[in-house]
């Protein structure tokens, strides 16, 4: 008997290697995959504006990196004794305007440099609903808020983007990205996180807009690829047991299942063959002995120091410097 529906996934034209640099943009599901990539030794820059859900906020963020836009204090607003940006997650907010400006501009500068030399950018869209500022909000009227920062509901008007609108802004973004970095492979995904705060019907309307728009873009651009994270959870697994207790976020098992499919479709076979050893090294790094002075632990450190050194020599782009330093520092009389 079959208890779930598996379907074939088209492989990406340019699979990820460990010497590739990957930018991750979009919803919280992006961060799940980004953390897994990082834990397997990839060079990842994750959400330089923080978590973003709607296409307009993603496009505006990418434009700010391409143009290396630096904000000033007048771009911020004060709410609940904290200074915020409508274009950034609250982790970029500050108790003073200068603090927020410094964090935002530093992140933008880092993102611009990383994106210029990146090999892949993965963009996960979560919702086609946007929230535009009203004339009672502290900000530019009708501009789209990437994060509401718990502002009053009267500060926003809700709007559902159309598939045509979304396709047009995504296509313009693709054009600008490839002009900025002609070697980019753009990976689109739709987040399987269910935005039930919008209601079940409006969540499905939103996902339909995103799916239509993204497929129109990938159909017309050789540099754009679609990975079906949404379909893997909704149509393949298709069961609430693969969601967390909130019935909104995919749980650990679902995320691991999507990750396995992502590895098969998007990561080079030679790179994935290193995963077992990288995981072993990272688990050894996390090991905390009861007595570090024992001969057994010294042999443990020497073993993983040698294995990590050899791996770095063969694959210098895999960042295991912290792990190697831990092993070497603990060894007594390393000569």
CB contact at 8 A, 132 and 156: yes
Q: Across residues 70-82, what is the average pLDDT?
A: 96
CB contact at 8 A, 123 and 184: no
Task: Record the tokens describing residue 15, joined without a space.
Answer: 């699979």
What are 272-287's pLDDT values in tens digits? 999 999 999 999 999 8
Q: Across residues 75-100, what is the average pLDDT?
A: 96
What φ, ψ does residue 105 adopt, rounded to 5°? -70, -35
Domains of the chain: 21-268 (3.40.50.1110), 275-330 (no CATH)
What are 57-66's pLDDT values in tens digits? 999 999 999 9
Q: What percent of the chain has pLDDT over 90?
A: 83
pLDDT mean across residues, the chain:
93
Name the DSSP letter for residue 192: -
Beta strands 224-226; 43-46: pairing state = unpaired
What are 245-279's pLDDT values in tens digits? 887 888 999 999 999 999 999 999 999 999 999 99
Q: Which residues of 138-159 are buried (b: 16+ CB within 10 A; e: fewer)?
A: ebeeebbbbbbbebeeebbeeb
What φ, ψ does residue 294 adopt, rounded to 5°? -70, 155
* CB count in 10 Å sphere of residue 19: 13
Task: Record the tokens describing residue 183, joined without a space.
Answer: 């070697």
pLDDT band for position 239 (cuts 50, 70, 90): confident
Q: Across residues 159-168, what is the average pLDDT?
A: 98
pLDDT band for position 334 (cuts 50, 70, 90): low
* CB count in 10 Å sphere of residue 88: 28
């Amino acid at each position: 008997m079959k208890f779930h529906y598996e379907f074939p996934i088209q492989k990406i034209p340019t699979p990820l290697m460990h010497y590739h640099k990957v930018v991750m943009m979009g919803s919280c599901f992006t961060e799940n995959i980004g953390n897994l990539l990082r834990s397997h030794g990839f060079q990842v820059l994750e959400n330089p504006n923080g978590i973003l859900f709607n296409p307009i906020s993603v496009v505006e963020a990418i434009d700010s990196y391409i143009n290396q836009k630096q904000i000033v204090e007048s771009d911020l607003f004060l709410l609940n004794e904290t200074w915020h940006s409508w274009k950034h997650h609250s982790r970029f907010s500050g108790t003073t305007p200068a603090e927020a400006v410094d964090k935002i501009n530093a992140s933008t500068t880092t993102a611009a440099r990383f994106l210029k030399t990146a090999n892949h950018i993965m963009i996960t869209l979560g919702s086609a609903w946007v929230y535009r500022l009203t004339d009672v909000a502290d900000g530019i009227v009708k501009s789209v808020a990437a994060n509401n920062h718990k502002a009053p509901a009267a500060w926003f008007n809700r709007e559902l983007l159309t598939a045509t609108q979304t396709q047009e802004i995504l296509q313009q973004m693709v054009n600008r990205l490839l002009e900025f970095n002609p070697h980019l492979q753009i990976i689109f995904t739709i987040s399987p996180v269910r935005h039930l705060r919008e209601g079940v019907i409006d969540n499905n309307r939103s996902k339909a807009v995103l799916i239509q728009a993204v497929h129109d873009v990938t159909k017309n651009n050789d540099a754009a690829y679609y990975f079906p994270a949404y379909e893997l959870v909704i149509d393949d697994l298709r069961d609430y047991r693969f969601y967390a207790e909130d019935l909104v976020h995919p749980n650990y098992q679902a995320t691991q299942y999507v990750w396995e499919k992502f590895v098969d479709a998007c990561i080079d076979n030679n790179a994935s063959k290193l995963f077992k050893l990288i995981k072993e090294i990272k688990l050894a790094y996390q090991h905390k002995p009861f007595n570090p002075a024992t001969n057994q632990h010294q042999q443990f450190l020497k073993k993983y120091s040698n294995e990590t050194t050899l791996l770095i020599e063969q694959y210098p782009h895999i960042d295991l410097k912290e792990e190697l330093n831990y092993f070497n520092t603990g060894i007594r009389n390393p000569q």
